[in-house]
Amino acid sequence: MAEMWNVEKEMKKVTNVRLSGDRSAVIIIDQTKLPGREEYLELRTAEEIYDAILRLKVRGAPAIGICAAYGIAVLAGKIQTEDYGEFLMQFRNYKTYLESSRPTAVNLSWALNRMEQTVIKNSALKVEKIKEALFDESYSIQREDVMMCRAISEHGLTLIKDGAGILTHCNAGPLATSGYGTALGPLFLGKERGMNFRVFADETRPLLQGARLTAYELYKGGIDVTLICDNMAGVVMKNGWIDACFVGCDRIAANGDTANKIGTSTVAVLAKHYGIPFYVLGPTSTIDMNCPSGRDIPIELRPEEEIRSKFYKEQMTPAEIPCYNPAFDITDHELISGIVTEHGIAKAPYEESLKKLFL
C-alpha cells in the first residue's frame, strides 16, 4: 500500500531552503551552480540574504518568501536589545532592505509582512519570546508551502490524463518552492501514482532556468522530459504534442493577469492559437488582491550582460549593443484557462473567483 503523505515527514526532506540547527543561518542550495554542482550556502548576514535573492542563488516566488522569512528570523535573533521599540525599529530596517532585493514576486513582501505582524501581535511579550515566535512563524510559512504544493498538485492532476504532453516555461518545481512545486507538482504526483507524461521544457532565455533546473528536476524524478529552445514552443504545439501548458507565477493580480518568467505570455498566445489549455499554478500567497491588474505589477529589469554574454564562451554581440532585459512578463487573464491554487481551480471571471478563494 502507498505510504500515507505526511507534512512533517515532507518538511524533513526539504533541502533547498532551511534553517541551520543552531538557528544562526539560512541554508540554501546555490541554484546558480546547478545542475553541475550541488553546493549549499549558509546565509548569516542581511547582505548575504539580499545578495542570494538578487543573484538568484535562491529563486522562485515561494522559495524567495521562505528564505526571507527564515532570514529575518535569523537577523532578528541577533538584535541586541531588550527594548521593544528599538527591536521593532531594527526589525523594520531589515525588512525594508530584504524587501528591496527583487520587486516582482509578491511572496517576498507577503512573507515579510507576516513576520512583521508576528512582532506586532506579540508586542506585549519580552523580546526573547518575540524572537521565538518569529522562528515559529517562519517554520509555519514553509510548512504551509509544503501543504499548498501538495494540494495544488492534486488539483492540477485532475486536469491531465495519463500519457499527456505538457509544456512548461521557467522553473516551478521543488527548487522554487518547498515540496512538489506548483507547475511541476502534478507531474511528480502523477508519477508517484504510476502515470507517465511527456514534458517539453522551454530552456527559458536568458538565464536558462528551464534547461538548468526544470529539465534537471524532471529528469532526476524519472519523468520523460525533452528540452526545447523557447522559440520551438510553437512547433511542438503544431505537431500536436501538447495537451496542456502548465506554468508557475510570481504575482497574480486581482483580475487574473499573471506575472511569470519572461516568455510565458508568448507561450499563452501560442496556446490560444493552437486551442491548447493554458494553466497557471500557484499558491494563494502569490495572489495580490491589492494589485487590480497586470499593469500594477512591478517588473524587474535585469542587467544587459545576462543577454549579451552570460552563458556564452565569448560575448555574442558587440559590447555596446543595448539590450532590454525584463525578467517577467504579464499574461493577460483572457489567455488563462484556469488558475490552480491550493483551494481549487479558479476560472474566469477571475475578479469573482479569486475573491472567493480568500473567503
As measured in angstroms, the least distance from the Cβ of 280 to ligand MRU is 9
Is the peptide bond between 103 and the residue preceding it cis, with omega within 30 degrees of 0? Answer: no
Q: Nearest residue to ligand MRU, using CB?
A: 248
Q: Which of residues 192-211 bind ligand MRU (CB under 6 A)?
A: 209
Q: Quick one: 56 or 268, whose CB is closer to ligand MRU?
A: 56
Q: Quick one: 165 or 263, whose CB is closer to ligand MRU?
A: 263
Rounded Cα distance, 30 and 328, in Å? 21
Among 182, 255, 331, 337, binds ligand MRU (CB under 6 A): 182
**Binding residues for ligand MRU, how many (CB under 6 A)?**
19
59 is in an annotated binding site: yes
For 176-190, the DSSP string reads: GSSSS-SSSHHHHHH
Which amino acid type is present at position 165? G
Q: Which of residues 19-58 bind ligand MRU (CB under 6 A)?
A: 56
Strands of the sheet with 40-43, listed across from one edge? 17-19, 26-29, 40-43
Q: Which of residues 96-115 bind ligand MRU (CB under 6 A)?
A: 105
Helix (H) or strand (E) holding 168: strand 165-169
Distances (CA, A) of 150 to 53, 156, 180, 214, 227: 25, 10, 6, 18, 25
338 is in an annotated binding site: no
Q: Using the rule CB under 6 A, give the single segment among 34-42, 59-67, 153-161, 290-298 that binds ligand MRU.
A: 59-67
Cell 499573471 belongs to residue: 258
Is position 60 an interface residue for ligand MRU (rule: CB under 6 A)? yes
Helix (H) or strand (E) holding 267: helix 264-273
Helix axis angle, 127-157 to 84-99, nearest 10°: 30
260 is in an annotated binding site: yes
SS3 202: strand
Q: Quick one: 134 or 259, whose CB is closer to ligand MRU?
A: 259
261 is in an annotated binding site: yes
Q: Quick one: 160 or 249, whose CB is closer to ligand MRU?
A: 249
315 is in an annotated binding site: no
Single out the residue of 288, 297, 197 nearest to residue 241, CA to CA. Answer: 197
Q: Which of 51, 136, 230, 250 is catalytic?
A: 250
Cell 504544493 belongs to residue: 149
Residues that bind ligand MRU (CB under 6 A): 56, 59-62, 105, 170-172, 176-177, 182, 209, 248-250, 260-261, 327
- Active-site residue list: 250
Binding-site residue ranges for substrate: 59-61, 102, 209, 260-261
